[in-house]
Structure 1
Amino acid sequence: MAKSSKPKFDAAASITNELIKIIDRGVLPWRKPWTVGGSSVPLRQNGEPYQGVNNFLLTMRTLMAGFSSPYWMTLRQANELDAKVIKGSKSSVVVYYGTAEREQAEGAHGGEAETEDPKTIPFMKSYRVFNADQIEGLDPRFHSAAAEPEVHPERAPIPHMQSFFEAIGANVSFSGRETCYVPNLDKIYMPPIELFENPRNFYAVWGHELGHWTKPRHRLNRSYGDARFGNTAYAREEIVALS
């Protein structure tokens, strides 16, 4: 029988390429110092939390796709629950690491095979899962209502820092769940301080956006050319805002 010419699926390369695509989109969810609601722990069909890189990857996929359910399962597991994956849904790759033992082919000095001294070798396997939001017919427990963003009432403003930033005079709206400076409106958007795990992070993010706020012609008139995500002009502007 002729061997298939189809290349073997490379899970490591697939995960690496996915990370690159996420970065290219300009969204780094693992760097947000404020809470945005929803489950933060991806769960298997049986409720067991994913560990290691799978936890990290599925958390990013949940944020990027806007899934509200923390549950993930294989096509087979969904079918066993009399549920059906929605047509056109894209699966996500997860990996499994383990070790296997094999007998040494030769002794330490090239003698006969040793059967009582096994050698442990690592291996990695991959499989595909779907989020419960991509599956129809599941029990309601897999679709729990999205949690409201966690609020930290004790996260009160730091007086001297608050006074410093307010004195700058920038137009800032403390609402929503994202941060950005909108040049056309000459306005900064920030989540309220109560959503930040640490009030110092609130002022750090505010300071970063103020860095972009200084760019327009009527302030510092800073321009590095046509800034697009990932190009040199964009990188230079980000370096300035991070300084």
Structure 2
Amino acid sequence: MAKSTKPKFDAAASITSELISIIDRGVLPWRRPWSVGGSPVPLRQNGEPYQGVNNFLLTMRTLMGGYTSPYWMTLRQANELDARIIKGSKSSVVIYYGTAERDRDADASDDATATDDPKTIPFMKSYRVFNADQIEGLDAGFHPAPPELPVHPERAPIPHMQAFFEAIGATVSFSGRDACYVPALDKIYMPPIEVFENPLNFYAVWGHELGHWTKPRHRLNRSYGDARFGNTAYAREEIVAELCTVFLGQKLGFSAHTLELNAAYLDNWVHVLRSDKRAIFKHAADAQKACDYLVAASEAGQGAKAA
């Protein structure tokens, strides 16, 4: 029997191409405010939240699709619930990582990555999911009522966000009109909250700079080489800070925001994605680590204050 000539589906290339086409339109959909059905993050069928790149991808697809449910599931999971996919619905690709025993007589597949363990090969595989809005016959619990969004005073601190960021313990100077992290001083510079008409944007910018603050060797030791404004290493770090802000914002209630969103910023994303189809997966993982680091630091700081 002749082997099939149909090319193997490349999940990394497909997802990266999808993301590039969206950015080429000049829109970053994950920057729109959202909280779907009472959940700030997309959920698996069993209620477990997605993390890392799948969180990012499904957040983006929820916003673009206008879905009102936070739940996503496979065709098989829907069938097991005696539900069915609505005709014409388009699935969304997500990924998972695992390890397999190394075959010393065979070359690693395209989906394999380097590992320090000579006995195993880590791999990335994909599967397809549908939003609950694309499925008929599900229980009402998969379509929870949307939450009431809080109203915050203009140009004033938001108590739970302020407490979260202050407890991290980073050195921050609230002066001037620019926002940046200066590695040589290990210091963040931020405009005062009064500069921001919407205080949510103040915390989003602060979160972005804290994403950079996690980079040094004595914290997460994250480096993509010699980073200079506009080069690839700089662009990769900006993607990590952006995604870190997305994940922090889901926890605290704001959307990713920077003081300037221009063509050069978008070009940096596209340049990195075009040069490396796996970049978004690596940088989403790095961003999740950065977010987790900041959450742990804040919880430790608040705990010490309460003791």
TM-score by length of 2: 0.47
Measured after TM superposition, the shift of residue 65 of structure 1 is: 1.1
Q: Could you report, residue by residue, the CA deviation over 1:78-105 in whole angstroms, capped at 9, with x for unpaired residues?
A: 0110111111000000111111122545
Q: Corresponding residue for 2:100?
A: 100
Alignment of structure 1 residues 150-165 onto 2, 5 Å: 150-153=150-153, 155-156=155-156
- Compare relative contact order (CA 8 Å, sep 6+) and give the higher one, 1 or 2: 2
Q: Could you report, residue by residue, the CA deviation over 1:102-154 in whole angstroms, capped at 9, with x for unpaired residues?
A: 2545xxxxxxxxxxx96211111111000001111100000011223343348
* Preserved contact between residue 101 and residue 118 of structure 1 (Cα < 8 Å): no
Measured after TM superposition, the shift of residue 196 of structure 1 is: 4.5
Q: Corresponding residue for 2:125?
A: 125
Aligned residue type for 1:97 = Y
Alignment of structure 1 residues 165-180 onto 2, 5 Å: none
1-structure distance, mates of 2:104, 2:4: 30
Q: Corresponding residue for 1:193?
A: 198
Q: Corresponding residue for 1:2?
A: 2
Task: Pick closer, same or farther for the CA change 1:2–1:139 going to 2, 3 Å.
Answer: same
Aligned residue type for 1:81 = L
Task: Choose 1 or 2 for highest CA Rg.
Answer: 1
Aligned residue type for 1:127 = Y
Identity %: 74
Task: Pick closer, same or farther for the CA change 1:199–1:51 going to 2, 3 Å.
Answer: closer
Q: Corresponding residue for 1:75?
A: 75
Q: Corresponding residue for 2:85?
A: 85
Q: Secondary structure at the match of 2:15?
A: helix
2-structure distance, mates of 1:200, 1:92: 30
Measured after TM superposition, the shift of residue 12 of structure 1 is: 0.4
Q: Corresponding residue for 1:114?
A: none
Structure number with the higher strand fraction is 1
Alignment of structure 1 residues 7-22 onto 2, 5 Å: 7-22=7-22
Q: Secondary structure at the match of 2:98?
A: strand
* Preserved contact between residue 95 and residue 127 of structure 2 (Cα < 8 Å): yes
Structure number with the higher helix fraction is 2
Q: Corresponding residue for 2:43?
A: 43
Q: Secondary structure at the match of 1:198?
A: helix
Task: Pick closer, same or farther for the CA change 1:119–1:198 going to 2, 3 Å.
Answer: closer
Q: Corresponding residue for 1:59?
A: 59
* Preserved contact between residue 156 and residue 194 of structure 1 (Cα < 8 Å): yes
1-structure distance, mates of 2:79, 2:21: 31
Task: Pick closer, same or farther for the CA change 1:61–1:199 going to 2, 3 Å.
Answer: closer
Q: Secondary structure at the match of 1:90?
A: coil
2-structure distance, mates of 1:148, 1:124: 38
Measured after TM superposition, the shift of residue 24 of structure 1 is: 2.3
Measured after TM superposition, the shift of residue 197 of structure 1 is: 5.9
Aligned residue type for 2:14 = S
Q: Secondary structure at the match of 2:56?
A: helix
2-structure distance, mates of 1:93, 1:121: 22
